[in-house]
Chains A and B, each alone.
Chain A
Amino acid sequence: MIREIITYPTPPSVEYATDVRVFNEDIFSLIEDMKDTIQANSLDGLAAFQIGNYYNVVVVKEENSSNFLELINPRIISQSGKVTTVEKTAYFPKLSAKITRYETIGLVYQDRFGNQHSLNADGDFSILLQRKIDYTFGSSFLNKLSKEEKKLFTKKLEFGSDIAISESCPTVFKRDYIIKVINIVMITMIILLIGSLFVNDEASAGFWQYQTYLFSTAIVLNVIYFFYAQYEGKRFTSCTSCQIGNIIGTTVILLIKLFVIMSLSYFII
C-alpha cells in the first residue's frame, strides 16, 4: 500500500523511533508499504519514520539495481573520510542543503527474520544510508548542518524553495559603486567649500557654479541608486542589506549629507 510521506512542518512521528523487538507480520507489512511508497514516488529509499511509523526500519534501493535492501535496527559502527554534497530528502520537498557526511561507513543491521548482517558502503549509497539512519534516531538532516548552512536552510524553509535564495549573499554589490561615486562628489563639494574661504569673490562665484553642478549630479546618482538597489535586491532576497528599508535608509542619509554641504555652501560661498 502506498503511504503518504510526511513532509515538513509535520513531525514525522508522534511516538518516536525505537528498535524493532518483535519480527512479525506488522513489520513485514510495513516494509512492503515502504517499498510501494518508494516506487510510487521514485525515491531511493525511506525510513519508516518518514511515513509516520516509529520503528527503526529503513528500506533503500540497492546500488545499480532495482532490488530493495531492508535494514532493521541499523547501526553505523565505523566510518572514515568526509565528503560534502548537496542533499535532498522527501521530508523537505524542493529543498536542498550542503551536508558533510562520512565517505565510507560500516554498519550492522537485522533482516526481517532478526538475523544480523553487516555491510560497508561508500559514495552516494553511504550518504543515502546515513540520511535514512538519522531518521531512525529522530533526526532530519537539519541536525547535520553547519551553523551557516542551518541559517540559510531556515530561510529556505520560510520561502519554501531553493530558488529564492540559491546564491549566497555577495560581499560587494554593484550599487555600492554608485555610493562610492556619490561620496567622491560630496568630498569634492567639501573641498570647494573649504577652498572658497581662501579665494576672492570672483573665484568664489565660479566655485558656487561648480557646486550646483555637483549637487545636481549627486541628486541624480541618488535617484539611480534608489531604483537600481531595489532591482539588485530582488536577485539576493536572502541578504538583509538588500531589504527596502535598508536602501531607503542609505538614500536618506546620503541626501541629508548632501543638503548639509549645499546649505553651508550657500551661506559661506
Chain B
Amino acid sequence: MARLVVLGGGVSGHTAATFAAKWLGSAHEVVVVTPNAKWNWIPSNIWVGVGEMSKEEVTFDLAPVYAKAGINYKQAKAVSINPEGSELVNKPFVTIEYTLAGREGMTENIEYDYLINATGPKLNFGATPGLGDANGLGEFTVSVCTADHAVHANEEFQKSIQKMKKGERQKFLIGTGHGLCTCQGAAFEYIFNIEHELNKAGVRDMADIKWISNESFLGDFGVGGLHMKSMGFAVSSKIFAESLFTERNVDWIIGAHVNKVEKGKVHYELLSGEMGEEEFDFSMLIPPFAGVGLKAYAKDGTDITATVFAPNGFMKVDANYAAGAYENWKASDWPKTYQNPTYGNMFACGIAFAPPHPISKPMSSPNGTPINPTPPRTGMPSGIIGKAVAHSICDRILQGENAPLHEASMAHMGAACVASAGKGIFDGTAAAMTIYPVVPDFDKYPGTGRDTDYTFGEIGLAGHWIKHILHHLFIWKAKLKAGWTLIPE
C-alpha cells in the first residue's frame, strides 16, 4: 500500500486529494493535512465581505466529506519535510502540528511515498508595516482573503454605511497592500461590490471610492492584461477597466507600492519614485503572498530548505528559475509536471509552487523598489494543476515509477474568470473573461503572446448569473456530491 500525503485542503489540494482517492481506491492511502476544519470557496468571500452571503454559505466541514471519500484527514499544519527520512527512519516523512481542538500543538511524523505540497500562501500582512504582523491582519484595514476576514470586513463596511446615513462622508480605499501583491482580481471584485452595495443603500453620493494597486495599468490583473476584440481592434483590458472605473465614478492610483499603513492613512511609493499619502475611512488591502514557511531537512538533519524551496518560501518545481531578464522570458520557463527537481516523489500545486518569474512586465521605481503584480496561480489553473499532479502520482503508484507524468503548463492552459461587479438577480453585474494561454507565449503568438480568438471579455448581468451558478456548482463539486467528477475545475 502506497501513501500519498497532501499538504493543504484548498482548491488545488482538495482537488488533488479527492481525485487521487477516487483513482487509487481503498488499496492505497490518501492523507490530507490542513489546519482548517472547513473548506472555503474563496471567490465568494467578496460577497460575505459586503453582507450578501453568510460565512456558512461559502464554507463547509471537511471531516464528513473526507470520511465519505475514504481520505485520512488530519487537522494540522505541516511544519517540515524530511524528503530523505532521518537517521532513525528511512522513509521520507512530513512533520505536522495539530490544530484540532483538544490536540493543539501535538506533533506527528507522517511517512509518505508521494507528497503534494498544496499549502497555498501565507498571507504576509507583516510585509507592510501597519497592514499587519506575523500574527496576521492589522487593526487599520480589513481583508477578504478568508471567510472570517470577510465577516469582519462586512461588519466594518456596515458601520461605514451607518455613518453615511447619518450624513458623515466616507472614503473607501481598496486594492493591494504591497508592491508585490497578486490577486488584484479579488480587490477589483470587492471595490465594485462595495460601490454596488452603497448604491443599493442609497448612500453612494456620500462615498469617495478609490482603487490603489501595484499594476502599471488598470486591468493588468497580474497577467499583463488581456486583449479583447472590439470594433476590429484587439483592445486591452486597460481600456475596458478604465471605462468601468470612470462609469462607476471610482478613482484610481496605480503603479503603487503601499509601504506603510496607519490609522486612516496609507503611505505609498509610485513607479515614478514619487511618494504619496492617501487617507481612508474604510480600506481593504490584499496582502502579498509568501510560502507558509515549511522547512526541509536532509537525512542527517542538515537544513535543506533552500534546496527544496525558493527564497519566497514556495516549492521549487520543474520550472526554469534561471531565465534572467524580462527579454529572456519564455513560455517554456513555466513548469509542466510540478515535480520537485531534487526529490521526484514531491510535487507542488496551486499557489504553493514557485513560479519562474512574473507574467506582468517587471517594473521598479527609481529607488529600486520592485512594483509589479506577482503571477496568479489561483482559481481554474490551480484546480487543473492539482488534478494533473494527482493523475501523475496515481499513475506512478498504479503503473510503476516510470509512468509518464501528466503536464499542465500555464503556458498551454486557458483560464476563465468571472469577476463580480455587484450582486443581484436583476441588477448584478460581472465581468466574464477568458484568456489563452495564461502565460503569454511570444514565440507562438507574436504580439501579446496570446491567441486573441480565445481571449475575450464581456461585462453584464449574465456574467453575474454565471458567477452565482459557479458558486453553487463548485461547492457541490467540493462536497463530492453526485456527478462531481463531471464538473470541470
Which A residues form the contact surface with B (CB < 8 A)? Answer: 9, 11-13, 15-19, 21-22, 54, 73, 75-78, 106-108, 116, 118, 134, 137-140, 142-143
User: In the complex, what residues of B have CB within 8 A of residue A142's CB?
Assistant: 231
Cβ-defined contact, A78 with B447, below 8 A:
no
Cβ-defined contact, B235 with A137, below 8 A:
yes
Cβ-defined contact, B272 with A108, below 8 A:
yes
Question: Which residues of chain B from 321 to 342 have any CB-CB distance to chain A below 8 Å in the complex?
Answer: 326-327, 329
Closest 9 CB pairs of A and B: A15-B447, A118-B272, A77-B255, A137-B236, A16-B234, A139-B239, A21-B327, A75-B216, A138-B235
Report which residue of B243, B253, B448 has the largest number of chain A beta carbons within 10 angstroms of its beta carbon. B448
Known contacts A138-B235, A143-B239; 20 further A-B pairs (Cβ under 8 A): A12-B233, A15-B447, A16-B227, A16-B233, A17-B236, A17-B448, A21-B327, A75-B217, A75-B363, A77-B256, A78-B253, A106-B270, A108-B216, A116-B366, A137-B235, A138-B233, A138-B234, A138-B236, A138-B239, A143-B243
Cβ-defined contact, A118 with B227, below 8 A:
no
Question: Which residues of chain B from 218 to 240 have any CB-CB distance to chain A below 8 Å in the complex?
Answer: 224-225, 227, 230-236, 238-239
Known contacts A77-B270, A140-B233, A143-B239; decide if A21 and B326 are in contact (CB<8 Å).
yes
Q: How far is the CA of A13 from the CA of B448 in the complex (A)?
A: 12
Q: Which residue of B lies closest to A15 (CB)?
A: B447
User: In the complex, what residues of A have CB within 8 A of residue B236's CB?
Assistant: 17, 137-139
User: In the complex, what residues of B have CB within 8 A of residue A76's CB?
Assistant: 217
User: In the complex, what residues of A have CB within 8 A of residue B447's CB?
Assistant: 13, 15-18, 54
Known contacts A15-B447, A54-B446, A108-B363; decide if A139 and B235 are in contact (CB<8 Å).
yes
Min distance, Cβ A266 to any Cβ of chain B, angstroms: 58
Min distance, Cβ B4 to any Cβ of chain A, angstroms: 41
- Does any Cβ of A come within 8 Å of B109's Cβ? no
Min distance, Cβ A57 to any Cβ of chain B, angstroms: 13
User: In the complex, what residues of A have CB within 8 A of residue B273's CB?
Assistant: 118
Cβ-defined contact, A73 with B272, below 8 A:
no
Known contacts A54-B447, A106-B272; decide if A77 and B361 are in contact (CB<8 Å).
no
Cβ-defined contact, B239 with A11, below 8 A:
no
Q: Which residue of A lies closest to B227 (CB)?
A: A16
Min distance, Cβ A27 to any Cβ of chain B, angstroms: 11
Cβ-defined contact, A15 with B446, below 8 A:
yes
Q: How far is the CA of A143 from the CA of B238 in the complex (A)?
A: 11
Q: How far is the CA of A19 from the CA of B217 in the complex (A)?
A: 12
Q: How far is the CA of A11 from the CA of B235 in the complex (A)?
A: 11
Q: Which residue of A lies closest to B231 (CB)?
A: A142
**Which of the residues B225, B272, B329 comes within 8 Å of A77, measured between beta carbons?**
B272
Cβ-defined contact, B232 with A9, below 8 A:
yes
Q: Which residue of A lies closest to B329 (CB)?
A: A21
- Does any Cβ of A come within 8 Å of B254's Cβ? yes
Q: How far is the CA of A137 from the CA of B224 in the complex (A)?
A: 11
- Does any Cβ of A come within 8 Å of B452's Cβ? yes
User: In the complex, what residues of B have CB within 8 A of residue A116's CB?
Assistant: 271, 363-364, 366
Min distance, Cβ B5 to any Cβ of chain A, angstroms: 41
Q: How far is the CA of A78 from the CA of B327 in the complex (A)?
A: 27
Q: How far is the CA of A9 from the CA of B206 in the complex (A)?
A: 44
- Does any Cβ of A come within 8 Å of B274's Cβ? yes
User: In the complex, what residues of B have CB within 8 A of residue A78's CB?
Assistant: 253, 255, 270, 272, 274
Cβ-defined contact, B271 with A75, below 8 A:
yes
Could you list some 5 contacts between A and B, CB below 8 A? A17-B236, A21-B326, A54-B447, A138-B227, A138-B236
Q: Which residue of B lies closest to A140 (CB)?
A: B233
Min distance, Cβ A186 to any Cβ of chain B, angstroms: 47
Q: How far is the CA of A6 from the CA of B270 in the complex (A)?
A: 35
